Chains A and B, each alone.
Chain A
Amino acid sequence: MVKAVTGFGRSGLYDWFIQRVSAVVLVAYTLFIVGFIFLSKDFGYASWSALFEQRWVRVFSLIALISTIAHAWIGLWSVVTDYLTNRMMGGKATVLRILVEVLLGAVAVFYAVWGIEILWGV
Protein backbone atom coordinates (compact mmCIF):
# COMPACT_ATOMS: atom_id res chain seq x y z
CA MET A 1 0.00 0.00 0.00
CA VAL A 2 3.03 2.25 0.44
CA LYS A 3 5.34 2.90 -2.51
CA ALA A 4 9.07 2.86 -1.78
CA VAL A 5 11.45 2.89 -4.74
CA THR A 6 14.64 3.26 -2.72
CA GLY A 7 14.10 0.17 -0.58
CA PHE A 8 16.56 -2.63 -1.29
CA GLY A 9 14.08 -4.93 -3.02
CA ARG A 10 11.09 -2.56 -3.09
CA SER A 11 9.12 -5.22 -1.25
CA GLY A 12 8.99 -5.40 2.53
CA LEU A 13 8.98 -9.17 2.47
CA TYR A 14 12.00 -9.31 0.15
CA ASP A 15 13.94 -6.85 2.33
CA TRP A 16 12.98 -8.77 5.45
CA PHE A 17 14.07 -12.06 3.88
CA ILE A 18 17.42 -10.67 2.63
CA GLN A 19 18.03 -9.09 6.05
CA ARG A 20 17.65 -12.52 7.72
CA VAL A 21 19.64 -14.48 5.16
CA SER A 22 22.48 -11.93 5.14
CA ALA A 23 22.55 -12.01 8.95
CA VAL A 24 23.01 -15.78 8.90
CA VAL A 25 25.78 -15.48 6.30
CA LEU A 26 27.55 -12.87 8.44
CA VAL A 27 27.33 -15.03 11.56
CA ALA A 28 28.76 -17.99 9.61
CA TYR A 29 31.58 -15.89 8.15
CA THR A 30 32.44 -14.32 11.50
CA LEU A 31 32.60 -17.74 13.18
CA PHE A 32 34.73 -19.04 10.29
CA ILE A 33 37.27 -16.18 10.40
CA VAL A 34 37.43 -15.92 14.19
CA GLY A 35 37.64 -19.72 14.43
CA PHE A 36 40.48 -19.79 11.92
CA ILE A 37 42.43 -17.10 13.79
CA PHE A 38 42.12 -18.78 17.17
CA LEU A 39 42.22 -22.44 16.19
CA SER A 40 45.05 -22.53 13.64
CA LYS A 41 48.31 -23.77 15.23
CA ASP A 42 50.83 -21.35 13.72
CA PHE A 43 48.69 -18.42 12.68
CA GLY A 44 50.62 -15.93 10.58
CA TYR A 45 51.09 -14.53 7.09
CA ALA A 46 51.72 -17.96 5.55
CA SER A 47 48.55 -19.62 6.86
CA TRP A 48 46.47 -16.47 6.24
CA SER A 49 47.54 -16.12 2.60
CA ALA A 50 47.19 -19.89 2.08
CA LEU A 51 43.63 -19.60 3.35
CA PHE A 52 42.76 -16.89 0.85
CA GLU A 53 44.53 -18.74 -1.99
CA GLN A 54 41.55 -21.07 -2.04
CA ARG A 55 38.76 -20.04 -4.40
CA TRP A 56 35.94 -21.06 -2.05
CA VAL A 57 37.30 -18.79 0.70
CA ARG A 58 37.38 -15.89 -1.75
CA VAL A 59 33.84 -16.62 -2.89
CA PHE A 60 32.67 -17.01 0.73
CA SER A 61 34.34 -13.68 1.55
CA LEU A 62 32.66 -12.03 -1.43
CA ILE A 63 29.27 -13.40 -0.37
CA ALA A 64 29.93 -12.04 3.13
CA LEU A 65 30.85 -8.65 1.65
CA ILE A 66 27.69 -8.54 -0.47
CA SER A 67 25.68 -9.62 2.57
CA THR A 68 27.22 -6.77 4.59
CA ILE A 69 26.26 -4.27 1.89
CA ALA A 70 22.68 -5.57 1.56
CA HIS A 71 22.26 -5.80 5.33
CA ALA A 72 23.63 -2.29 5.84
CA TRP A 73 21.45 -0.83 3.08
CA ILE A 74 18.24 -2.36 4.42
CA GLY A 75 19.04 -1.41 8.01
CA LEU A 76 20.20 2.14 7.30
CA TRP A 77 17.36 2.73 4.85
CA SER A 78 14.97 1.86 7.68
CA VAL A 79 16.75 4.29 9.99
CA VAL A 80 16.78 7.06 7.37
CA THR A 81 13.09 6.62 6.54
CA ASP A 82 12.26 6.61 10.27
CA TYR A 83 14.07 9.80 11.21
CA LEU A 84 14.43 11.89 8.04
CA THR A 85 10.76 12.14 7.13
CA ASN A 86 8.77 14.86 5.39
CA ARG A 87 6.20 14.55 8.17
CA MET A 88 8.79 15.76 10.69
CA MET A 89 11.01 18.05 8.58
CA GLY A 90 8.98 19.13 5.59
CA GLY A 91 10.26 19.20 2.00
CA LYS A 92 13.95 19.35 2.89
CA ALA A 93 13.69 15.78 4.23
CA THR A 94 13.35 14.50 0.66
CA VAL A 95 16.60 16.18 -0.40
CA LEU A 96 18.39 15.05 2.75
CA ARG A 97 17.17 11.49 2.38
CA ILE A 98 18.22 11.28 -1.27
CA LEU A 99 21.65 12.70 -0.35
CA VAL A 100 22.16 10.15 2.43
CA GLU A 101 20.95 7.30 0.23
CA VAL A 102 23.24 8.29 -2.67
CA LEU A 103 26.14 8.55 -0.22
CA LEU A 104 25.33 5.10 1.18
CA GLY A 105 25.11 3.73 -2.36
CA ALA A 106 28.48 5.24 -3.29
CA VAL A 107 30.11 3.77 -0.18
CA ALA A 108 28.54 0.39 -0.97
CA VAL A 109 29.88 0.35 -4.54
CA PHE A 110 33.30 1.53 -3.32
CA TYR A 111 33.53 -1.28 -0.77
CA ALA A 112 32.30 -3.87 -3.28
CA VAL A 113 34.94 -2.94 -5.88
CA TRP A 114 37.69 -2.57 -3.28
CA GLY A 115 36.76 -5.90 -1.69
CA ILE A 116 36.93 -7.72 -5.03
CA GLU A 117 40.29 -6.07 -5.75
CA ILE A 118 41.66 -7.25 -2.42
CA LEU A 119 40.26 -10.78 -2.65
CA TRP A 120 41.48 -11.45 -6.19
CA GLY A 121 44.47 -9.10 -6.15
CA VAL A 122 46.81 -10.96 -3.85
Chain B
Amino acid sequence: MLKVSIYRYNPETDSAPYMQDYELDTQGKDLMVLDVLELLKAQDPSLAFRRSCREGVCGSDGMNISGKNGLACIMPISQAAPKGKLVLRPLPGLPVIRDLVVDMEQFYTQYKKIEPYLQNSTPAPAIERLQSPEEREKLDGLYECILCACCSTACPSFWWNPDKFIGPAGLLQAYRFLADSRDTATDERLGKLDDPFSVFRCHGIQNCVNVCPKGLNPTRAIGHIRNMLITRAV
Protein backbone atom coordinates (compact mmCIF):
# COMPACT_ATOMS: atom_id res chain seq x y z
CA MET B 1 0.00 0.00 0.00
CA LEU B 2 1.24 3.43 -0.92
CA LYS B 3 0.71 6.12 1.68
CA VAL B 4 -0.08 9.49 0.15
CA SER B 5 -0.31 12.77 2.03
CA ILE B 6 -1.86 15.60 0.02
CA TYR B 7 -2.16 19.32 0.70
CA ARG B 8 -5.84 20.18 0.75
CA TYR B 9 -7.36 23.62 0.73
CA ASN B 10 -10.74 24.78 -0.47
CA PRO B 11 -11.05 28.49 0.32
CA GLU B 12 -14.84 28.24 0.17
CA THR B 13 -15.09 25.74 3.01
CA ASP B 14 -11.71 25.51 4.80
CA SER B 15 -10.40 28.16 7.14
CA ALA B 16 -6.84 26.87 6.69
CA PRO B 17 -4.96 24.36 4.51
CA TYR B 18 -4.37 20.87 5.93
CA MET B 19 -2.70 17.62 4.89
CA GLN B 20 -5.01 14.71 4.09
CA ASP B 21 -3.79 11.12 4.15
CA TYR B 22 -4.81 8.54 1.58
CA GLU B 23 -3.87 4.94 0.96
CA LEU B 24 -3.67 3.40 -2.45
CA ASP B 25 -3.10 -0.17 -3.61
CA THR B 26 -0.66 0.23 -6.49
CA GLN B 27 -0.74 -3.54 -7.23
CA GLY B 28 3.03 -3.54 -7.33
CA LYS B 29 3.17 -1.24 -10.34
CA ASP B 30 5.61 1.66 -10.56
CA LEU B 31 2.94 4.25 -11.31
CA MET B 32 3.60 7.86 -12.14
CA VAL B 33 2.55 10.37 -9.50
CA LEU B 34 -0.17 11.63 -11.84
CA ASP B 35 -1.62 8.09 -12.09
CA VAL B 36 -1.76 8.03 -8.29
CA LEU B 37 -3.63 11.34 -8.28
CA GLU B 38 -6.11 10.12 -10.92
CA LEU B 39 -6.79 6.94 -8.91
CA LEU B 40 -7.24 8.96 -5.72
CA LYS B 41 -9.57 11.36 -7.50
CA ALA B 42 -11.74 8.38 -8.37
CA GLN B 43 -11.96 7.73 -4.59
CA ASP B 44 -12.36 11.38 -3.65
CA PRO B 45 -13.73 13.56 -6.47
CA SER B 46 -13.20 16.75 -4.41
CA LEU B 47 -9.42 16.51 -4.99
CA ALA B 48 -8.27 19.27 -7.38
CA PHE B 49 -5.13 19.32 -9.55
CA ARG B 50 -4.16 20.40 -13.06
CA ARG B 51 -3.16 17.97 -15.79
CA SER B 52 -3.35 17.78 -19.52
CA CYS B 53 -0.96 15.89 -21.80
CA ARG B 54 0.24 13.44 -19.10
CA GLU B 55 3.60 13.03 -20.86
CA GLY B 56 5.79 15.90 -19.65
CA VAL B 57 5.12 18.24 -22.54
CA CYS B 58 2.37 20.63 -21.47
CA GLY B 59 3.73 21.60 -18.05
CA SER B 60 0.32 21.66 -16.34
CA ASP B 61 0.99 19.30 -13.45
CA GLY B 62 4.01 20.93 -11.87
CA MET B 63 3.82 20.39 -8.11
CA ASN B 64 5.97 19.80 -5.08
CA ILE B 65 6.50 16.04 -4.95
CA SER B 66 7.97 14.76 -1.68
CA GLY B 67 9.75 18.07 -1.17
CA LYS B 68 11.02 18.64 -4.72
CA ASN B 69 9.25 20.40 -7.56
CA GLY B 70 8.55 18.26 -10.60
CA LEU B 71 5.97 17.10 -13.11
CA ALA B 72 3.62 14.51 -11.64
CA CYS B 73 3.14 12.79 -15.02
CA ILE B 74 6.79 11.85 -15.52
CA MET B 75 7.78 11.25 -11.90
CA PRO B 76 7.60 7.54 -10.98
CA ILE B 77 6.61 6.69 -7.40
CA SER B 78 9.73 4.52 -7.09
CA GLN B 79 11.68 7.77 -7.24
CA ALA B 80 9.23 10.07 -5.46
CA ALA B 81 8.28 7.66 -2.66
CA PRO B 82 11.08 5.10 -2.26
CA LYS B 83 9.92 4.37 1.32
CA GLY B 84 6.27 4.03 0.36
CA LYS B 85 5.18 7.52 1.45
CA LEU B 86 4.35 10.20 -1.08
CA VAL B 87 3.82 13.83 -0.05
CA LEU B 88 2.18 16.18 -2.55
CA ARG B 89 1.97 19.94 -2.15
CA PRO B 90 1.26 22.78 -4.57
CA LEU B 91 4.18 24.67 -6.14
CA PRO B 92 5.68 26.77 -3.30
CA GLY B 93 5.33 30.54 -3.18
CA LEU B 94 2.37 31.02 -5.49
CA PRO B 95 -1.14 31.67 -4.13
CA VAL B 96 -3.19 28.48 -3.84
CA ILE B 97 -6.52 28.48 -5.65
CA ARG B 98 -7.50 25.05 -4.43
CA ASP B 99 -5.59 21.92 -3.33
CA LEU B 100 -2.72 21.48 -5.80
CA VAL B 101 -3.89 24.24 -8.15
CA VAL B 102 -1.94 27.50 -7.89
CA ASP B 103 -2.49 30.96 -9.34
CA MET B 104 0.24 31.36 -12.00
CA GLU B 105 -0.44 35.08 -12.60
CA GLN B 106 2.84 36.33 -11.06
CA PHE B 107 4.79 33.79 -13.09
CA TYR B 108 3.15 34.83 -16.38
CA THR B 109 3.52 38.55 -15.59
CA GLN B 110 7.28 38.06 -15.35
CA TYR B 111 7.30 35.99 -18.54
CA LYS B 112 5.40 38.74 -20.35
CA LYS B 113 7.93 41.35 -19.21
CA ILE B 114 10.79 39.80 -21.19
CA GLU B 115 8.76 40.11 -24.44
CA PRO B 116 8.96 36.45 -25.40
CA TYR B 117 8.67 36.85 -29.14
CA LEU B 118 11.07 37.52 -32.00
CA GLN B 119 11.68 41.20 -32.70
CA ASN B 120 13.33 42.22 -35.93
CA SER B 121 13.39 45.74 -37.31
CA THR B 122 14.77 44.81 -40.76
CA PRO B 123 12.36 44.20 -43.68
CA ALA B 124 11.05 40.66 -43.78
CA PRO B 125 12.62 38.56 -46.56
CA ALA B 126 10.42 36.94 -49.22
CA ILE B 127 10.37 33.50 -47.65
CA GLU B 128 11.91 33.29 -44.16
CA ARG B 129 14.76 34.54 -41.99
CA LEU B 130 17.54 32.00 -42.30
CA GLN B 131 19.88 30.79 -39.60
CA SER B 132 23.07 28.81 -39.91
CA PRO B 133 23.18 25.47 -38.05
CA GLU B 134 25.67 27.07 -35.63
CA GLU B 135 23.32 29.96 -34.90
CA ARG B 136 20.44 27.55 -34.42
CA GLU B 137 22.54 25.46 -32.03
CA LYS B 138 22.71 28.39 -29.61
CA LEU B 139 19.00 27.97 -28.92
CA ASP B 140 19.39 24.38 -27.74
CA GLY B 141 18.79 24.10 -24.02
CA LEU B 142 16.64 27.25 -24.16
CA TYR B 143 13.69 26.63 -26.47
CA GLU B 144 12.71 23.36 -24.74
CA CYS B 145 11.24 25.14 -21.70
CA ILE B 146 7.56 24.26 -21.20
CA LEU B 147 6.84 26.98 -18.58
CA CYS B 148 5.78 24.52 -15.89
CA ALA B 149 7.10 26.96 -13.22
CA CYS B 150 8.92 24.23 -11.28
CA CYS B 151 12.15 26.28 -11.39
CA SER B 152 10.81 29.73 -10.52
CA THR B 153 8.78 28.36 -7.60
CA ALA B 154 11.89 26.59 -6.26
CA CYS B 155 13.79 29.88 -6.19
CA PRO B 156 13.93 31.84 -2.89
CA SER B 157 14.64 35.08 -4.79
CA PHE B 158 11.38 34.54 -6.67
CA TRP B 159 9.54 33.72 -3.42
CA TRP B 160 10.62 37.03 -1.86
CA ASN B 161 10.23 39.23 -4.95
CA PRO B 162 7.87 37.58 -7.47
CA ASP B 163 6.77 41.06 -8.55
CA LYS B 164 10.31 42.29 -9.31
CA PHE B 165 12.63 39.36 -10.00
CA ILE B 166 11.92 37.74 -13.37
CA GLY B 167 12.83 34.31 -12.11
CA PRO B 168 14.71 31.45 -13.77
CA ALA B 169 12.00 30.49 -16.29
CA GLY B 170 11.54 34.05 -17.56
CA LEU B 171 15.29 34.64 -17.69
CA LEU B 172 15.92 31.42 -19.60
CA GLN B 173 13.43 32.70 -22.18
CA ALA B 174 14.97 36.18 -22.08
CA TYR B 175 18.28 34.62 -23.05
CA ARG B 176 16.58 32.47 -25.69
CA PHE B 177 15.72 35.71 -27.54
CA LEU B 178 19.00 37.47 -26.71
CA ALA B 179 20.86 34.52 -28.24
CA ASP B 180 18.69 34.36 -31.35
CA SER B 181 20.57 35.58 -34.44
CA ARG B 182 17.27 36.71 -36.00
CA ASP B 183 16.37 39.04 -33.12
CA THR B 184 17.58 42.65 -33.49
CA ALA B 185 16.26 44.04 -30.20
CA THR B 186 19.23 42.78 -28.15
CA ASP B 187 20.25 46.18 -26.84
CA GLU B 188 16.71 47.23 -25.86
CA ARG B 189 16.19 43.86 -24.18
CA LEU B 190 19.42 44.20 -22.18
CA GLY B 191 18.57 47.79 -21.27
CA LYS B 192 15.40 46.59 -19.58
CA LEU B 193 17.27 44.00 -17.48
CA ASP B 194 19.90 46.25 -15.93
CA ASP B 195 18.13 47.00 -12.62
CA PRO B 196 19.00 45.44 -9.22
CA PHE B 197 16.04 43.02 -9.32
CA SER B 198 15.17 41.62 -12.77
CA VAL B 199 18.35 39.58 -13.28
CA PHE B 200 20.60 40.40 -10.36
CA ARG B 201 18.43 38.88 -7.61
CA CYS B 202 19.79 35.58 -8.89
CA HIS B 203 22.50 34.54 -6.45
CA GLY B 204 23.33 31.40 -8.35
CA ILE B 205 22.11 28.79 -5.85
CA GLN B 206 20.90 26.61 -8.74
CA ASN B 207 17.66 25.34 -7.19
CA CYS B 208 16.24 25.89 -10.69
CA VAL B 209 18.78 23.57 -12.29
CA ASN B 210 18.14 21.00 -9.59
CA VAL B 211 14.40 20.75 -10.25
CA CYS B 212 13.96 21.38 -14.00
CA PRO B 213 12.03 18.36 -15.35
CA LYS B 214 13.44 19.03 -18.82
CA GLY B 215 17.04 19.09 -17.58
CA LEU B 216 17.60 22.72 -18.58
CA ASN B 217 20.05 25.09 -16.90
CA PRO B 218 18.57 28.55 -16.17
CA THR B 219 21.58 29.52 -14.01
CA ARG B 220 23.87 29.18 -17.04
CA ALA B 221 21.49 31.30 -19.16
CA ILE B 222 21.43 33.96 -16.43
CA GLY B 223 25.25 33.91 -16.43
CA HIS B 224 25.18 34.52 -20.19
CA ILE B 225 22.79 37.47 -19.73
CA ARG B 226 25.09 38.90 -17.06
CA ASN B 227 28.09 38.53 -19.37
CA MET B 228 26.19 40.31 -22.16
CA LEU B 229 25.33 43.15 -19.76
CA ILE B 230 28.97 43.43 -18.69
CA THR B 231 30.26 43.40 -22.28
CA ARG B 232 27.79 46.14 -23.11
CA ALA B 233 28.73 48.31 -20.12
CA VAL B 234 32.51 48.00 -19.66
Chain A residues packing against B (C-beta within 8 Å): 1-4, 7, 10-13, 15-17, 78, 81-83, 85, 87
Known: A1-B113, A82-B161, A87-B163. A16 touches B198 (CB 8 A): no
Instruction: Give Cα distance in the complex from A117 to B42, angstroms.
Output: 76
Q: Which residues in chain B, 78-113, are within 8 Å of chain A measured between CB atoms?
A: 113
Q: Are B160 and A13 in contact (CB under 8 A)?
A: no
What distance in Å separates the Cβ of B14 from its nearest Cβ neighbour in chain A?
23
Separation of A12 and B197 alpha carbons in the complex (Å): 7
Q: What are 11 A-B contacts with C-beta separation under 8 Å? A: A1-B192, A2-B164, A2-B195, A2-B198, A11-B195, A13-B230, A16-B200, A81-B161, A81-B196, A82-B157, A87-B161
Task: Evaluate whether A11 and B194 lie within 8 angstroms (CB atoms) in the complex, with A16-B200, A17-B230 already known.
Answer: yes
Given A1-B197, A12-B197, A13-B194: 12 more A-B contacts, CB < 8 Å: A2-B164, A12-B193, A12-B195, A12-B200, A13-B200, A16-B200, A78-B196, A78-B201, A81-B161, A81-B196, A82-B161, A87-B161
Interface of A is mostly: helix
Q: Report A26 CB to chain B, min CB distance, Å.
A: 18
- Whose C-beta in chain A lies nearest to the C-beta of B110? A1
What residues of chain B lie closer than 8 Å to A10, measured between beta carbons? 196
By a CB distance below 8 angstroms, the chain B residues around A4 are 195-197
Contact B226 A16 (CB under 8 A): yes
Q: Report B233 CB to chain A, min CB distance, Å.
A: 6
Say yes or no: is B229 at the interface (Cβ < 8 Å to chain A): yes
